[in-house]
Each structure stands twice: as C-alpha cells, then as structure tokens.
Homo-oligomer: A and B are copies of this chain.
C-alpha cells in the first residue's frame, strides 16, 4: 500500500512503499542520496552504493523510515528495493529540479511538458485550481447558478474585429470573445444571477507579457442592481473570499514566489475613482498630460492607491461611451462601467448593461449596428429584462498578480499567443 510522501514522517520505524519521480541524485560512492517527489512533497531516500535510474524516472521504493535531522524534513527512507515503473531518457531539455527563475520564459514555454514538472512552476496551477474553487464557492453561496454556453458564435460580442474564424461544416462561425450575450440571456431567463468559467478568445496581434489569445474568463452577471456600485461591492466580497482562501491554503507557495499576501481587509479600502480623476492622478504623477489610460497609467494608479489607501488596487469608473461596448449603460457622455486595476494590471472589466429595449434600439446606430444584425440579442430585451450588470475577471491575470509573476503566460498551462500554438 502506497504511502504519500507527506505521511512518511508518521511512519517512522516502519517499512513503507513510496511512489514518485526521481527529483535529484547525489552519488557519494559508498552511499547515494536520492530525492523522490510525489504530489504531496519530496523525501530523501538513501541507497547503499550507486543507483541505476535517471532523473525523472518513475519509481516505487520499498524501505524503512528513519529519523535523520540532516535530511530534508528530518526523515529519510532507507531503500531496500526499487521498482522502476517508467525510466526517463537522460537528455532533459531543461532541469526540473532547479529554481525556474534562472530559466527564461521562452525556454519554460517551449519545453512546457517538462517545465511543468518543476514543483515551483507547477505550484502556480495548484493556486489556480484553488482560485477556480473559491470563485465558484463564493458565487454559489450568493445563489448564483453556474452556466456553460457555446463558444461558437455567429458574430462577435463587441463587433466583428478581433475574432478567430472557425470552419463549421459549410458555415463560418467565430470563437466567442466573451459569454456576454449568453450571460444576459440567462439573467433575463429568470436565473437572475449566473456565473461562467470558460474559454475566451481574442485575435489580437500584439504579443506582450499582458496578453493571451486564449484565456479563461471568470464571468459574473447579476439582475436587479441599482448601478455599477453593486457590482463593485460584489467583486470586493468575491476577491476577499479568494484572497483569504489562497492566503490560508497556499501560504507556502506565496512565500516561495516571494510575494506579500494581499490583506483581505484592505480590499474594502480599494478606492473608486472616475476615469477623469484617474487621468488627473496619472498626469500629476507623470508631470505631463495623459489623455488615455495605458499600461503605464495602470502602474501609476496602483502605486497611487498603495500610497493613499494602503492597497495597490483601484476601481476606475465612468468611462466615456466611445470607450465601452454598445450595451454599456450610459450616464450622459459617460457610462456606468468600471475596470479594476490590481498590482498595475487591469484584471476586470464590468458595468451595468442597457436593459430597456427602446434605449438599446436607439443606441445601436450610434455604434454602426442594426437591430437585424443583432436579432437574437434584441429578443432578450423585447420580452422584459431586469436591470442588470456584471463583470469578468481574467483567471490567468488574477493568478499572475496574486503570485507576482512577470508574464501572464506563466499562469496559463498551455498558452496561445501570436507564435505559440503548441504544445
């Protein structure tokens, strides 16, 4: 019966069976020290003489657990017998047992199948799995229903640009940029509160550390709101739940990445500033007039919020109409919309949506759209839709920022960018 490595210390004085990967080999002639890795940890195994297996081979080891203050964790296994379940070829393209900080992002991604074996790299996805759980857990506790909607659509949510086309039998369809229309359908259907965890696609040509062409969108939509403040309130409570959970469950991983945990209490202090005020703050900080918020501005605003409010996050609301999609609820020349900038990066876009049929119909021409072209979408509003809004968090960006990663691609198991379609 296999004993997991984290349970080895509880078996001191006993004979155990341990299975895992050969993580490190140190042959000293009379004795060899071998580190073995499984999903729960790493243990030292001691062999008399040399060993005949290679790094990364998968083994099952039978041996006796003894205390040894010099061994990692204070315990080791004295091997009596070893079965090699799967030998590894000795030409690893990158080292698995070294700090990945010494390896460039391209080497890590080009050799993804091997680099994901590195415990520190893999730990990113342990945290990501927890984020997925905490996101759903919080929303379910607030009576949200999880939905799964099609990613193959006739036209884009935000117009026809930036779409990947799919040959669908004799038709051409597109990969969805967001589940926006479907979220709204389900709000109007009477579910009122829905969330979706699903892939989103952007055919954007730029290849930057901020962008992925395929990412996981954590989408939320809620009916019977007053305005966008209800959504920011909801997102704060959601982020508190996520941050508190990650801090508690993955303290060791945060530490290994050298990142300070976010204080869940501080999330209540995230300032909410208008788009106009944000431009003022950035202009003042940079000593020159800015007319748009760009990546540099996002970093400046985060720094400002950390100094002024003790948390490097800021909600920017009141974006001008022409900067937001047609379905955004207007407020004069502005909109009831917001972004959340966290640690220098926009991780959320959200807002109240237009729910009145007549208002939507009058809005379409201003965006070069027609009622005919959006016939299915218009049905949502033709038959009574409550006031509503929502937001979406990029899973990889949130993961990146919680762990302090340099590049969002590090937070995607198999990232897709301009050049990268494999593995």
Report which A residues bind B (CB closer than 8 A). 2, 19-22, 37-39, 54, 56-58, 85-89, 92, 112-114, 116-117, 119, 122, 125-126, 128-129, 132-133, 136, 140, 143, 145-154, 164-169, 171, 173, 175, 181-182, 185-186, 188-193, 197-199, 203, 205, 213-214, 216, 224, 355-357, 376-377, 379-387, 395, 412-416, 418, 421-423
Contacts and interface: CB of A to CB of B under 8 A. Distances in A.
Given A166-B164, A197-B197, A379 B114 contact: yes
A58 B188 CA distance: 9
Contacts of A22: 384
Copies in the complex: 2
Contacts of A136: 133, 136
A214 B381 contact: no
A362 to B, nearest CB: 15
Contacts of A175: 166
A149 B181 CA distance: 24
A154 B419 CA distance: 12
A188 B171 CA distance: 39
A112 to B, nearest CB: 8
Contacts of A418: 169
Given A86-B387, A113-B380, A122-B190, 19 more contacts: A21-B384, A86-B386, A89-B357, A92-B383, A112-B185, A113-B383, A114-B379, A117-B383, A122-B189, A125-B145, A129-B146, A132-B146, A147-B413, A151-B151, A153-B422, A166-B175, A168-B213, A181-B423, A198-B199
Contacts of A189: 113, 116-117, 122
B57 A150 contact: no
A399 to B, nearest CB: 10
16 contacts: A21-B190, A38-B190, A58-B385, A85-B387, A88-B382, A88-B383, A114-B379, A122-B191, A132-B146, A133-B140, A150-B214, A150-B416, A152-B214, A165-B167, A168-B416, A169-B418
A185 B182 CA distance: 32
Nearest to A205: B169
A37 B384 contact: no
A88 B132 CA distance: 37
A110 B164 CA distance: 25
B182 A414 contact: yes
Nearest to A418: B169
Contacts of A37: 190
A383 to B, nearest CB: 4
A168 B201 CA distance: 11
